[in-house]
Structure 1
Amino acid sequence: MSVSEPAQLTGRRTKLALRAAFVVANVALIGIFIHQTLSAPVLSGGGSGQRALGEADGAVPEGTTVFDDEVAGVANLDPSLLGALRQASTDAGIKFFVNSGWRSPAYQEQLLNEAISKYGSKEEAARWVATPETSPHVSGHAVDLGRSDALAWLSKHGAAYGLCQIYKNEPWHYELRPEAIEHGCPPMYADPSHDPRMQR
């Protein structure tokens, strides 16, 4: 045996050990991925009829407008709010796109849990997302609108339709305040955590 043979054997063993470690690490990562994939969907309902939350719970597909009655997030809005939105959209000559409207309690709970994970605490999440018990989205009395042209138009003309921005930190969130037609929109809250309705 030459002097270089032990070095070659050691090199081969090292390469084999590295390959084995690589395979083990990949198997572990695949296992983690499969576990996350199987446990990721937030489920609604009970028993074998469980389903992932989706449009039926208020998730709104991209491009949805206030005139899309086939979308539950629009169709389940309070009729007075929806009527005011449609009239304002028609008068403005601008499509009012809906990012979020009515939500099921389960969907609202999912959004709240995501906000807690994102912001690190219930208190900080409360600045952005209400509980299912307090959210005006769950009752169909709030809508989050998209696109700057509609938001700019509503900031100037929304009060004439009773459509008011409620929170300073959420320029997309509108609710119906019929008294605003005569008296203007009420002062905005800094964020939902300052809204007395959210303190229940």
Structure 2
Amino acid sequence: MLGEADGAVPDGVTVFDDEFPAVAGLDPDLLNALRRAAADAAGDGVGFVVNSGWRSPEYQEHLLREAIAEYGSAAEAARWVATPETSVHVSGDAVDIGLADATAWLSAHGADYGLCQIYRNEPWHYELRPEAIGRGCPAMYADPTHDPRMQR
């Protein structure tokens, strides 16, 4: 049975909740940037919740199988869910942030922390791009199928 130890996230988990592997398993630099951004966003009355962070390969495979069933093909599912071998969630290099006000705040301010939305179809998905500080985030991919990292 897959659960929190595999990266499943109960409702209300924040970027400060280290007791959850989905948070604790994130890349330390990504987590530090998220925590700095979340502290500043809180000053604007905005809270960050983690809908997904680090995931085990088994959990990622489960999500991929669910997406294939939902979307009807592996090709269509790939627009939303990566394989365990290519997933930046499995490596701890991505986080999905919840609440619309938080994603709106990150859209406006995330580059100041190196936090960038990577896919146009996933406004909740953020990765660390330190070079974005002072230069802005790179152009987004339409979806993961356009990301060269997903072509392995």
Aligned length: 149
TM-score normalised by length of structure 2? 0.97
Q: Which runs of 4+ in 1 moved over 6 A?
A: none
Aligned ranges 1:150-161 → 2 under 5 Å: 150-161=102-113
2:14 alignment partner in structure 1: 65
**What amino acid is the match of 1:70?**
E
The residue aligned with 1:172 is 124
Secondary structure of the equivalent of 1:63? coil
Give the match's secondary structure for 2:134. helix
Gaps of 5+ in 1: 1-51
Q: TM-score, normalised by structure 1?
A: 0.74
| Within-5 A mapping of 1:105-116 | 105-116=57-68
Give distance in 2, aligned partners of 1:92 and 1:144: 16
- Whole-angstrom distance in 1 between the partners of 2:140 and 2:24: 27
Quote how far apart the aligned CAs of 1:149 are.
1.0
The gaps in structure 2 that reach 5 residues or longer are: none
Q: Provide Cα deviations, 1:32-59, integer angstroms capped at 9, x if missing partner.
A: xxxxxxxxxxxxxxxxxxxx01000000
Q: How does 1:42-57 map to 2 (within 5 A)?
A: 52-57=1-6
**Superposition RMSD in Å:** 0.5
**CA positional deviation for 1:182:** 2.1
CA distance in 2, matches of 1:173, 1:59: 16
Aligned to 2:72: 120
Q: 1:146 aligns with which of 98, 103, 110?
A: 98
Pairing 1:77–2:29 present:
no
- 1:162 & 1:183 partners in 2: Cα distance? 9
Distance in 2 between residues matched to 1:95 and 1:79, nearest whole Å:
20
More helix by share: 1
Of structures 1 and 2, the one scoring higher in RCO (CA 8 A, sep 6+) is 2
Partner of 1:191: 143
Give 1:183 deviation, angstroms.
1.3
Task: For 2:143 and 2:137, locate their aligned partners in 1 and report how far apart those are by CA, in whole Å.
Answer: 16
For 2:38 and 2:11, locate their aligned partners in 1 and report how far apart those are by CA, in whole Å: 18
2:78 partner amino acid: A
**Partner SS, residue 130 of structure 2:** coil
